Amino acid sequence: MSSDQHDQVKTICPYCGVGCGITVQQGEEPGDVQFMPWGDAPVNEGRVCIKGGAATEVVDHEDRLTEPLVKEDGEFREATWEEAYEYVVDELERIREEHGPDAMGFFGSSKTMNEENYLLQKLARRYGTNNVDNCTRMCHASTVWALRTSLGAGAMTNSMADLRDEADLFWIQGANPGEQHPIANSQYFRQAVLDGATVIQVDPHANKTTRSFQIDETDRHQHLQLNPGTDIPLLNIVLKTILEHHEEHPEDGWIDEEFIQKRTDGFEDLQATLAEFDKAAAAEECGIDLEEIERAAEKYAKADNAAIFTGMGMSQHACGVDNVQNEINLALITGNIGRPGTGVNPLRGQNNVQGTCDVGAMPNVLPGYQLVDDDEARESVEEVWGFEIPDEPGLTNVEISYEAGESIKGLYVLGENPVMSEPDANSVAERLADLEFVVVQDIFMTETADYADVILPATTWAERGGTVTNTDRRVQRMRGVENVHENTKHDLEIVSEVGKRLFDDGEEQFDFDDPEAVFEELRQVCPIYHGMTYDLLGEEGLHWPCYEPGDEGDPFLYEDEFDTESGLGQIEGVEHQPPAETPDEEYPLILTTARLEEHYNTGTMSTRSPTLNRQTPENFVDVHPADAERYGIEDGEYVRLRSRRGEITLEAQVTEDTKEGVVWTTPHFAAASANKLTNHVLDERAKIPEYKAAATEIEVDVEPLGETADPAADD
């Protein structure tokens, strides 16, 4: 392999949302790429986690899709690109003519780039529907809703760098950066802790974050191991503790009265909500000693700069919006927002989940979070695009899946795998089988691709260019090697070609020479990206918002005012809402789920990586020793985990990492995905499913998975 400088490209890791820079070195043959460190990368300064170091292993995997496929008589055969394009366009035209444009759904992907998602949502709206969404619906839709409504922007309020340098306390609730964002944990959180910061982690499951800060061995740090679905009562204890102390000792400054008066609205509602709140009863419901929660409240209130980090443990509930709202309440009443080292900061799970939302791949917003039902916003985008945009929000991806075969007749899937990623996955698969037409763009034959009529083989992250936006709003450029498999195409090229063929004005609307040309149009219609160009992004990237050329971006938001209609941060008291399913006689356990450090989402890439799959080759379930004794489960024994929606067979690990009555597993493995069990009930506002709490039962004396324990064999 040549080591010439021109054979190396600087790009961004394709896994989590931290946005680590890596170098890819190109070989002589298509797919022949090798990982190399990028020593002065702006986010990670050359450090990588196990996933980043193994990222190139999937680029030339033997399972790569390298030819278009068309299904005939239930079997796939190779086709030409011309035949595949003609089939896709003919079916899209037929469905629109027979059923109307709202009979189609479009799924963007947080594994693809801003330009590709921008073009897909433009394609959907030119088709005549707002039925376009992406996987943030299953991750942080409730976080985005709460942050946008109460503060103004659905993103981290601060940057990782200012949090590392300025925060005195990290309140980490429903997130596990030690496992899910390893470089953020090691390079930012750990450095802050070494400099004196305190960590309070709120999570039902002990994990690598717990252990990385020795939380259980010191008085300085705490792990509040609550029962799943009790985040609101825990935070209400914290809030009431702070308010009570302030009433008795206002001189201690546990709340910021001046900030509340000048910068917020709704404080009286919070006070009224908590007036009759019983802290002792709530602590019992949480499963934590009241004194422990009160001690954590004191630490947060007394910190000079306290930062909240929130994750899917908070957002993936039927009350997800209220969960996050209560975190916002805590930040606002203490004035911990609008300056370095503070704020409310969602840790995004995929490398472009932030950007996919930024560019409008959602049913209710246009690029830059402009509401589709706002006439002025819609008209400003229409002026650039040259066509009318539907003025009613469309269906979310979960709603699209559940309407499949009913009002939804067709589906365009760009790099997503809803058959594994959505809750109650068995039902999702059944409904996709009822669709009239499905087209899938991907790099591997996924569980969803099995239901496709046409499969379009795309290039991987290492083989194409564009931009992605990381968890702290930093827009960065990805760059691709030049040698690609001969008959694969870039996602951008595929969507452009479909658009050019599908519409009368397609040659004008979808004719772009390269990603930069798409970005130039994107920044015209996306106010928060307006001041960015590829040249200005350079290798460092820029934090949005950049409203004008020359803006250097904002490492933290809301210094002077909030981006709400009134300019005030919105406080709103919230009350406990139990999970939709709670333990009963038939299903006496509660299931909660999370990700592993060495795997990623539905495992499409990570289970095909020898390095990552060697680490954890199959799924498992954590069972508390008391439950193991009650059921007669031995450590390492295979058990059947069953809910009202399905069952999976997997190995039991007997551990005190989980609480008694709570079982914990992952969604990464096709043979035994947690999402065959999870509940599809939705938060009524954000439409996010309740992945984090489902009633379950364990059955013992079952056979091991055998050969199907290799999850890659099932993909």
Q: Read out DSSP for 579-614?
A: -SS---SSS-EEEEE---TT--TTSTTGGG-HHHHH
Tell me the HSE value of 304 on the side-chain side, using a 13 A CA sphere. Answer: 9
**Rg for the chain, CA atoms, rounded:** 24
119: phi then psi, degrees, rounded to nearest 5: -70, -35
Distance CA(331)–CA(263), nearest Å, equals 12
What pLDDT was estimated at residue 474?
A: 96
Q: CA torsion 649→650→652→655, rounded to 10°?
A: -120
Amino acid letter, 181: H
Backbone angle region of 332, left / alpha / beta, with phi > 0 → left and psi within -120 to 50 → alpha: alpha
Question: What tokens were used for 536?
Answer: 């200005």
Q: Identify whether the C-beta of residue 595 lies closer than 8 Å to the C-beta of residue 673.
A: no
What 3-state DSSP class applies to 365? Answer: strand
As assigned by CATH, the class of the 69-135+351-529 domain is alpha beta
Match domain 141-346 to its CATH number in 3.40.228.10, 3.30.565.10, 3.40.50.700, 3.90.1150.10.
3.40.228.10
Distance CA(586)–CA(293), nearest Å, equals 32
Amino acid letter, 143: T
Which single residue is written with the structure tokens 């239901």?
Answer: 451
Distance CA(340)–CA(306), nearest Å, equals 10
Q: Give domain 589-714's CATH architecture.
A: Beta Barrel (2.40)
What pLDDT was estimated at residue 215?
A: 65
What pLDDT was estimated at residue 527?
A: 96
Match domain 5-58 to its CATH number in 2.60.40, 2.20.25, 2.40.10, 3.30.980.
2.20.25
Q: Identify whether the C-beta of residue 90 lies closer than 8 Å to the C-beta of residue 84.
A: no
pLDDT in tens, 285-312: 999 999 999 999 999 999 999 999 999 9
Distance CA(711)–CA(669), nearest Å, equals 5
What pLDDT was estimated at residue 308?
A: 98
Distance CA(413)–CA(252), nearest Å, equals 55
DSSP letter (8 states) at residue 714: G
Distance CA(692)–CA(577), nearest Å, equals 14
Q: Identify whether the C-beta of residue 32 lies closer than 8 Å to the C-beta of residue 483.
A: yes
Q: Identify whether the C-beta of residue 188 lies closer than 8 Å to the C-beta of residue 165.
A: no
Backbone angle region of 677, left / alpha / beta, with phi > 0 → left and psi within -120 to 50 → alpha: alpha
Distance CA(458)–CA(491), nearest Å, equals 6
Q: Identify whether the C-beta of residue 96 lies closer than 8 Å to the C-beta of residue 88.
A: no
66: phi then psi, degrees, rounded to nearest 5: -125, 0
Pairing label, strands 104-107, 646-654: unpaired
What pLDDT was estimated at residue 715?
A: 28
Q: What is the largest CA-CA distance in the chain?
A: 77
Nearest to 621 by CA among 690, 694, 688, 679: 694
Distance CA(587)–CA(68), nearest Å, equals 45
β-strand partners of 306 = 169
Tell me the HSE value of 529 on the side-chain side, using a 13 A CA sphere. Answer: 35
DSSP letter (8 states) at residue 103: G
Pairing label, strands 694-699, 365-366: unpaired
Pairing label, strands 542-543, 8-12: unpaired
Residues sharing a CB contact under 8 Å with residue 137, sequence separation 6 or more, in sequence order: 362, 396, 397, 398, 686, 687, 688
What 3-state DSSP class applies to 94? Answer: helix
Pairing label, strands 169-173, 306-310: parallel
Distance CA(330)–CA(333), nearest Å, equals 6
Backbone angle region of 579, left / alpha / beta, with phi > 0 → left and psi within -120 to 50 → alpha: beta
Q: In the chain, which residues have pLDDT < 50?
A: 1-5, 707-715
What 3-state DSSP class applies to 42? Answer: coil
- Give the domain ranges of the chain: 5-58, 69-135+351-529, 141-346, 589-714
Distance CA(225)–CA(204), nearest Å, equals 5
What 3-state DSSP class applies to 114? Answer: helix
692: phi then psi, degrees, rounded to nearest 5: -90, 5
Instruction: Give 379: exposed, middle or buried? Use CB within 10 Å, 0-12, 13-18, 19+.
Output: exposed
